[in-house]
Amino acid sequence: MTNTMWGGRFAASPADIMEEINASIDFDKRLWRHDIAASKAHVAMLAATGIIDSKEADEIVNGLDRILAEMKAGKFAFSRKLEDIHLNVEHRLTELIGPVAGKLHTARSRNDQVATDFKLYVRDEIATIKAALTALQLALAKKALDHAGTVMPGFTHLQTAQPITFGHHLLAYVEMFGRDQGRFANAAERLNESPLGAAALAGTSFPIDRGMTAEALGFARPAANSLDAVSDRDFALETLAAAAIAAMHLSRLAEEIVLWTSPQFGFARLSDAYATGSSIMPQKRNPDAAELVRAKIGRIAGAFQSLLMVMKGLPLAYAKDMQEDKEPLFDALDTLKLGIAAMTGMVDDLEPDVRAMKKAASSGYATATDLADWLTLKLGLPFREAHKVTGQIVALAESKGCDLKKLSLADFQSVDKRIGKAVYPVLGIANAVKSRKSQGGTAPANVRREAKRWIKRLEKQGPRDKKEG
């Protein structure tokens, strides 16, 4: 039989392979809540503008509510022959209330319908992701406060650079995820224009009120151009771009956890809740949760690239290519939410080895920069000369197989006679960390202040993020 939703243009049924490639219900059925909400807003507007009478509108709304109840109960029978969520809903509505169901599609098209549903879905997902990021940031900030004075080595090129605090390191990720919050918020702000009423591409001759449906669905305004309204997927691309960057940040933190929990570093430990064993090597404790979070960036970044390639060659307005917008986004956002949740759990679970971190921070001549700074501040050497002198002292310590603070005063003075005993306190890692009081520096006082500021802010904004969804 032909698809009755296509009208009288087609006399024969589609080929089996056509049905296979054309159907989207297997994945777009997750838009059911948004499709029902948009349809109810649309029919209320049709009645308010006199396009259909109020009795018909009531029948349609009652039918939609029955469908909604069936879907919530898991009793709705989705059919691939009806292609997508929109036609599945309309077909069931016709079964329930008869021909009046056909009036629901007055002054709209599946083009503006799907764009509206998809925007509503993405907007809800952004609110959920922002709330999840808030929980992750809060976990990081609280652990940073607990370890504001825990000394560890800071790295550049994965080589020991300068001593920092573990709290300072964790707060760097709080800042990263804060920028992710901003990107998602910006994406949500830009997508907040309603496509409903743009119809297929040119608008409609019916006297509709697009402002009414936009307001009912929580949009800031109707989209200004009907062509753009049905063909725009920038909102999905922006959200995927934000998701890819957030996933990259998760991956960087996951890599650090993999390193920190290895025997070679030994900086931290994950409990059995976030580690796995080996089928052959009994001694192994593998940080599989972190490794999987690290790996999932590929799927999320790939989703962004996939949709970008779908959209790059499409003329205005709608083309069926755009059906390929949903599967990548659904998978990417599901994957991101899973990764954030896993990382939040790992951050809560992670136990740093304070002694191991401090020992590592004391090696690798980590206070060499502090020595160079001291030579400049106390002895008046130009920094470039101080840098050269310090390099010579490091080379001397290396030849003797000892740390800087183990060198004798005679050793120091063999390089520069102006160096006195006052140099020794400068070489201790605790003093080195404490001295970094510049704004954004690693001094424990700075870290405590910043961690408290973030905790206060995050605890305040958490419920607001959830309310947005």
The pairing of strands 351-352 and 221-222 is: unpaired
CB under 8 A, 24+ apart: contacts of 211-217: 212/41, 212/44, 212/45, 212/48, 212/49, 213/38, 213/41, 213/42, 213/44, 213/45, 216/41, 216/44, 216/45, 217/37, 217/38, 217/41, 217/116, 217/120
Whether 157 is a known active-site residue: answer yes
Query: CB count, 10 Å around CB of 421?
Result: 8
Pairwise CA distance, residues 46 & 108, whole Å:
11
3-state helix, strand, coil in the chain (%, to 5): 70, 5, 25
Cβ–Cβ under 8 Å, residues 344 and 132: yes
User: Out of 157, 279, 399, 438, which one is annotated catalytic?
Assistant: 157
C-alpha distances in Å from residue 192, one per residue of 89, 233, 292, 315, 322:
25, 13, 33, 23, 20
SS3 of 152, please?
strand
Whether 24 is a known active-site residue: answer no
Give DSSP secondary structure letters for 267-298.
-EE--GGG-B--SS-TT--B-HHHHHHHHTHH
User: Out of 54, 278, 363, 408, which one is annotated catalytic?
Assistant: 278
Q: Which of 241, 41, 5 lies closest to 122, judged by CA?
A: 241
Q: Which of 324, 464, 337, 363 lies closest to 161, judged by CA?
A: 363
- Give Cβ neighbours of residue 268 (< 8 Å, ≥ 6 apart): 257, 260, 261, 350, 351, 352, 353
401 torsion bin: left (phi>0), alpha (psi -120 to 50), beta (else)? left
Q: How far is CA 39 from the centre of its chain?
A: 30
Pairwise CA distance, residues 274 & 231, whole Å:
44
Q: How far is CA 413 from the centre of its chain?
A: 54
* Alpha helical stretches, state H, 401-443: 409-415, 429-434
Q: Which of 47, 88, 45 lies closest to 68, judged by CA?
A: 88
Host H or E run for residue 243: helix 234-260
The pairing of strands 268-269 and 221-222 is: unpaired
Q: Buried (b) or exposed (e) across 309-338, using 16+ Cβ within 10 A? A: ebbeeeeebbeeebbbbbbbbbbbbebbbe
Active site residue ranges: 157, 278
